[in-house]
Chains A and B, each alone.
Chain A
Amino acid sequence: MAYASDAPKDGFRPSMLIYDTRYRGYTIQFIVLLLFALFVAWLLNNTLENLAAKGRTFNFGFLWSRAGYDIEQTLVPYTNDNSHFRAWMVGLANTLAVAIPGCILATIVGVIVGVLRLSKNWLIARLMTVYVEIFRNIPLLLWILMIFVPMRELTYEPRDFRVTDEMIAAGQEPAASMWFNDSVAISTRGINAPLPLFDRPLGSLNLGGVSVNLTFLAALVIVLGSVWVNRQIRARAQRVQESTGVRPTTWWQSVLVLTLPFIAFLLATGFHLEYPTLTRFNFSGGILLQHSYTALLIALVLYTGAFIAEIVRGGILAISRGQTEASYALGLRPGRTMSLVILPQALRVIIPPLISQFLNLTKNTSLGIAVSYLDLRGTLGGITLNQTGRELECMLLMMLNYLILSLMISSVANIYNRSIQLKER
């Protein structure tokens, strides 16, 4: 970092490569590059030698052979006759099925707990502190196991839900019963919950091997449309307020715009719920959530939520008290102070560490191994790896996959982060 103020007049001597700070950098970089290249060559050489010694080749052809194992939870259609590649994709979908709801729920938990920790209510603040400290200081693995093991071992077999004629005659109750007006059954096999169905679905569109469910697409479009219209209404209210000083009442318009189109859509497509029913040995119908999935999700949400709570609390505390006071002095009410003054500034502090928590949560989904959840690591890096014995290929693919996932999340989040950062000259 030191700079020569006055360049010597005489020409270049080789000793300057070591002693002159202007040229030393090149020497160091050359040596580093050389060492790195040697190291990589050494690794490659070893790998080739080892592969040759084991009589193995390095190719990815195994991805297209029959997988031959079952996956309990599949979001992508899959049977054990499909290829290893397909199994990998099922695993990826399962990873995302934990990661995406996990990030959303953890943010909700984190924000609520973080705000409540700052509450003036002594009891609530203490409770939240206890929650945060306990979850932050105990390994995630323990939480996953602690939630999973009782879920499996303390629940009843599906047959315990059965009510037979003799039991009615004897006035007995079955050992277990379903929750929420016979709609949710928690048994040893998993959680059976109602499944949303449509009588008149819009069908699906096949786009080169990927089928897109038009019903869900339409629902998404309608929700986004309502949100957009709602923003227009609020923008108009803002304009009126700026020109006349009086803000028109818009909340009822917002409520109507946000709810009516969606309800109309549900009625038009004949939305109803399919409830799980008890058949001979098991529950059928509805949707079956594996305990491994539920336990992993709950543990990840509670664990990451504790970290996010600390981030949120820190972010709010980082905004100086003067900002609130200045805002009150301008005549803003507490609600608007929060939404217009404190939160926009706090978000700038909160977002960067929040991104890294999302990344952590996504990577931590690989702990599903503890409860045999078949995610990316369970399929590609687990059963496929063990069946084919292709450690090198599977591990490389899996690492690459996680790497791409992380880079995608962080780049999307970084774009958002840049949009809210303070624009400095």
Chain B
Amino acid sequence: MQTLSYVRTEMLPQQPAPLGERGAAKWLRENLFSGPVNTIMTLLALYVIYLIIAAITPWLLNGVWNASSLSECRAIIAAAAGEGASGACWAVINERWHQWLFGFYPQDQYWRPTLAFVLLFVAIAPVLFDRVPKQLLWFTLIYPALCFWLLWGGSVWGPIVAMIGFVVLAIVYRLAQPLIGISPAAGAGVVAAILWWLFLDVPAVNLLAGLADLQLQPVRSSDFGGFLLAITIGVTAISFSLPIGILLALGRQSDMPIVKLLSVGFIEFIRGVPLITLLFTASLLLQYFLPPNTEFDIILRVIILVTLFAAAYLAEVIRGGLAALPRGQYEAADALGLDYWRAQRLIILPQALKISIPSIVSTFIGLFKDTTLVSFVGLLDPLRGVTNVVRADINWKGIYWEPYIYVGALFFIICFGMSRYSMYLEQKLKTDHR
């Protein structure tokens, strides 16, 4: 066999890629300067970023954290950075941060809402994450009463006895369900619980209070404010609006015309009017609709209306999920001989709710942001209520950017966190193999 002397027998070492095809240069060229239009847009964007940074940086750098009034702030800034320099006066946040968080809640009792807030995470952990032991769900069940007692104070027996009403409901349901079926048993349970609350609640509380008086200092609703108020309203409304929303969605999909009509009417009415009008209903009109001389707490009234508002929106979101399920799922449930509630609970709702998770969470985010509107019915929401209280102080008159940035940042953290959680949940529950 002839040897070809000009054929190389060993491989050449690999050359590195040309400079323009690797590293930062390639990235820059592909992502920022890939054509004339892109280049112009990049330069424009850089200019806009420069303008924003140039406007904000001196203001941030000259920020003052320790001062007792806006004029003192300005004096410090003028002394440090020269006359006419702009600067942030974070001192107002430093001095009043607790008011944005707690409103006029008594200062020596701050541990109570803080504890309630921490326990909130313990209570929702078994719902949110499946690695948490399921026994914690019992704590979730008693959490509402515990939270109420911690926040509003008073005798411990009121919430406990009220919770026993639910125990009565559960026991009656358990006993009656094998005898008369699911729906009548649920009805009997509700009636029994209502009887308990109407007739046995007050005597039981008095009796127990006579035996042992466990009291926390009572706090009036008008002292609630800031994020304490927003989170109280938001979390309560979120947890109650989900079951109501599911029921409304099922009602709207129902093949019973009257149930369907009532659900559609309710949903469309609530969705057709702004939340503000519903809040005004809570503050102005409920006194007309309730029996004469009924007095009840404005926060509770607002929570009820906000809950109904969110429930109508959730109902539409969940209806979308129900409609997106293939018809075969319903038929398969029927073919297995499941009755309506079992079919919903075991087959339909788990899938429908999974589809609608992103929209449900964005409804919750919207609900939480909407809690700021309660300031229009005289409650101290963090954004407008507390900020106005602080600005009414002669020391802090004329300050506006800093409080808004502080409150906005807190809202952003909470809402952004919720949206990230929904993305995590979406990933976790994804079962299609793509």
Contacts and interface: CB of A to CB of B under 8 A. Distances in A.
Interface of A: 1-3, 18-19, 21, 25, 28-29, 32-33, 36, 43, 46-47, 49-51, 53, 119-124, 127, 133-134, 136-142, 145-146, 149-150, 153, 359, 363-364, 366-367, 369-370, 377, 381, 385, 391-392, 395, 398-399, 402-403, 406-407
Nearest to A406: B272
Nearest to B359: A353
Given A29-B257, A145-B384, A370-B384, A407 B289 contact: no
A2 B31 contact: no
Interface in B169-188: 181, 183-184
Contacts of B416: 133, 137
A137 B365 CA distance: 8
Contacts of B262: 32, 36
B292 A120 contact: no
Contacts of B276: 366-367, 369, 377
Given A124-B41, A145-B384, A146-B404, A139 B292 contact: no
B95 interface: no
A138 B256 contact: no
A366 B277 CA distance: 9
Contacts of A123: 31-32, 41-42, 45-46
Given A1-B330, A1-B343, A150-B400, A25 B255 contact: yes
11 contacts: A29-B259, A50-B292, A51-B288, A120-B38, A121-B34, A137-B411, A137-B415, A137-B416, A137-B419, A142-B411, A399-B281
- Report which residue of B184, B398, B416 has the largest number of chain A beta carbons within 10 angstroms of its beta carbon: B416
Given A1-B333, A140-B369, 4 more contacts: A1-B330, A18-B181, A28-B256, A120-B30
Given A127-B45, A150-B400, A377-B277, A120 B289 contact: no
A141 B280 CA distance: 17
A341 to B, nearest CB: 22
A307 to B, nearest CB: 9
Contacts of B340: 1-2
A43 B49 contact: no
A118 to B, nearest CB: 13
B127 to A, nearest CB: 22
A1 B34 contact: no
Given A29-B257, A123-B45, A139-B369, A369 B376 contact: yes
A19 B38 CA distance: 70
Contacts of B274: 363-364, 366, 377, 402
Interface of B: 30-32, 34, 38, 41-42, 45-46, 48-49, 181, 183-184, 255-259, 262, 268-269, 271-277, 280-281, 284-285, 287-292, 330, 333-334, 337-340, 343, 365, 369-370, 372-373, 375-376, 383-384, 398, 400-401, 404, 407-408, 411-412, 415-416, 419
A124 to B, nearest CB: 5
A381 B272 contact: no
A395 B284 CA distance: 9
Nearest to A399: B273
A322 B173 CA distance: 55
A153 B391 CA distance: 14
A359 B273 CA distance: 10
A51 to B, nearest CB: 7
Per DSSP, chain A at the interface is helix
Nearest to B337: A2
Contacts of A407: 268, 272
A406 B271 contact: yes
A211 B290 CA distance: 45
Contact of A399 (B258, B277, B404, B411): B277
A124 B292 CA distance: 60
Nearest to A369: B376
A363 B258 CA distance: 29
Contacts of A381: 277, 280
B42 A153 contact: no
Contact of A33 (B45, B258, B273, B289): B258
A392 B418 CA distance: 38
A29 B256 contact: yes
Contacts of B407: 142
Nearest to A28: B256
A146 B281 CA distance: 28
B292 A145 contact: no
A167 to B, nearest CB: 21
Given A1-B340, A145-B384, A46 B411 contact: no
A153 B400 contact: yes
Nearest to B376: A369
B400 A149 contact: yes
A19 B259 CA distance: 19
A120 B31 contact: yes
A50 to B, nearest CB: 5
B42 A124 contact: yes
Given A28-B256, A139-B411, A2 B334 contact: yes
A120 B27 CA distance: 12
B256 A25 contact: yes
Contacts of B38: 120-121
Q: Which A-B residue pairs are the 4 nearest by beta carbons?
A: A122-B31, A137-B415, A363-B274, A406-B272
Contact of B258 (A32, A124, A141, A402): A32
A99 to B, nearest CB: 11
A269 to B, nearest CB: 39
